Chain A
Amino acid sequence: AQSVAQPEDQVNVAEGNPLTVKCTYSVSGNPYLFWYVQYPNRGLQFLLKYITGDNLVKGSYGFEAEFNKSQTSFHLKKPSALVSDSALYFCAVRALGNSGYALNFGKGTSLLVTP
């Protein structure tokens, strides 16, 4: 089965410092990986995705993610965190199942950026 794991429930970062939100995946075949962000009382917003090609993927709001096949990881990064980045972050993998290509989500990582 295709799945992702987010090992950290919460990540705390000071404003201006670099941030990393971790995600590892388990798939058979080529992985299609996604990052979403959810602000309080809002839906999920798409940040970026890896399909193929360059291992460093750039997305919205200055976020990027690095696909590492040997470590089966797809960590989300940002060089300089903002307080407004505080939110819930979800990693997801596209899985082929009975419903076609659905998304299997991790449990989410809460990011808190302090001033």
Chain B
Amino acid sequence: ETGVTQTPRHLVMGMTNKKSLKCEQHLGHNAMYWYKQSAKKPLELMFVYSLEERVENNSVPSRFSPECPNSSHLFLHLHTLQPEDSALYLCASSQDRGASRDTQYFGPGTRLTVL
């Protein structure tokens, strides 16, 4: 798991707070991903970054805002979240988002609780 790291591991925030999740990959990959894992639901892809390019899932609310300053770092900025946003947020990376054979490697996740 040291290939992809995420901080913080746990986060509790109120609905009016602003916080950020951080992901860093040490694998030399070019693509990074944010997934949301909620109880009793399949993992949901939120965002994909490849180098400078962001591709957004249209169903993700604007209260989630990704940022990718370089190919090794990925952030997820959070503001005015709702209790239903409580979930495990997983970051992943792969060599290239356009290569179907590539394996995605996941970080340990951030357990987010919105009060």
Task: Give A residues with C-beta under 8 Å from B.
Answer: 32, 34, 36, 41-46, 49, 51, 90, 94, 96, 98-108
Contact = CB atoms under 8 A, between A and B. Distances in A.
Interface residues of B, number: 31
Nearest to A44: B106
Given A99-B45, A100-B55, A43 B108 contact: yes
Contacts, number: 67
A43 B100 contact: no
Nearest to A29: B100
B39 to A, nearest CB: 11
A99 B97 contact: yes
B104 interface: yes
B48 A100 contact: yes
B104 A103 contact: yes
5 contacts: A42-B109, A43-B109, A44-B92, A44-B106, A96-B100
B64 to A, nearest CB: 15
Contacts of A94: 100
B43 A90 contact: yes
A83 B104 CA distance: 27
Nearest to B91: A43
B41 A107 contact: yes
B50 interface: yes
